[in-house]
Amino acid sequence: METAEQDGPQGRAPARPASLSPSRAADFMRCPLLYRFRVIDRLPEKPSAAATRGTVVHAVLERLFDAPAAERTPERARALLPGEWERLLATRPELAELFPGEGGALDEELLARWLAEAERLVERWFTLEDPTRLEPAERELFVETELDSGLLLRGIVDRVDVAPTGEVRIVDYKTGKAPAPQYRAEALFQMKFYALVVWRLRGVVPRRLQLVYLGSGEVITYDPAEAELRLVERKLRALWEAIELATETGDWRPRPTRLCGWCDHQAHCPEFGGTPPPYPLPLPAQRPAVDGAEPAQGRMDPV
């Protein structure tokens, strides 16, 4: 799982893009203007009940492996949920807005229904995988590597399994429903991104990529090849060049899709009659020359 919060806090000073993660790569491919709002402007976004539930469920599935194998039961997993919610709420008190009650208090009934749905997702996981037979090599693993081109790739992998023979499996939990086959490219792109980073870090192409969809109770697997990961690397280089160009020119164009209805930034989007905030980074013509040199053109400055 990867969220905007994991990629970097919002509401801070504008910044030039310095690295690429799977979710931000997906943002740019879906809508360059959305990428700008999240990465450069760092506009705030409202908490989402579904995304927050996903964060809590992921935390439970991670922490469950702290227990001995025989104790990794549905009952133990369910018991972890309230504590993980309280832990998250303590670090992000704005999440209380998801369950508004009288006088600013939490609506306990709304919260109970939300936790019950989280319980159902956790219980469904036990029908898809048997944690008593798993010993992950890594959980919630932060990975980062710099390609030969200088592009910095980073992300957080939910789980890495390593077989006694050394074969690597990358596992990602999804709390939504599995997409139809014709719409799986984006999810698989995220997994190939992780596979590329792990390959560059460890020198081993992961044997299997596994997406576990708790919302629909499906598991999707994919076995990547080295040649395919090289293609992913070239695609990411081209994507980064496009991001660099947009950063330099300030040309971030919206790309309308059916997902626009759920976007938090409609008030700033021209597609909805809004106006983006003033571009917070200097454009080439605005940069002062140094020692008589011409302003930089066409490439982003080193960060």
Tell me the domain boundaries of the chain.
138-234
**What is the per-residue pLDDT for 293?**
40
Q: How far is 31 from 77, CA to CA, in rounded Å?
A: 37
Q: Which CATH number fits domain 138-234: 3.30.390.50, 3.30.565.10, 3.90.320.10, 3.40.225.10?
A: 3.90.320.10
**What is the per-residue pLDDT for 156?**
97
CA 219 remoteness from chain centre: 19
**What is the per-residue pLDDT for 285?**
60
Q: Is 42 left (phi over 0), alpha (psi -120 to 50) or beta?
A: left
**What is the per-residue pLDDT for 11?**
53
Q: Which pTM was predicted?
A: 0.87
The CA distances from residue 70 to 57, 77, 128, 173, 263, in Å, are 20, 13, 17, 22, 43
Token pair belonging to 31: 């809508």
Q: Which residues of the chain have pLDDT under 50?
A: 3-9, 289-303
Query: Which helix (H) or strand (E) segment is 143 a member of?
Result: strand 138-146
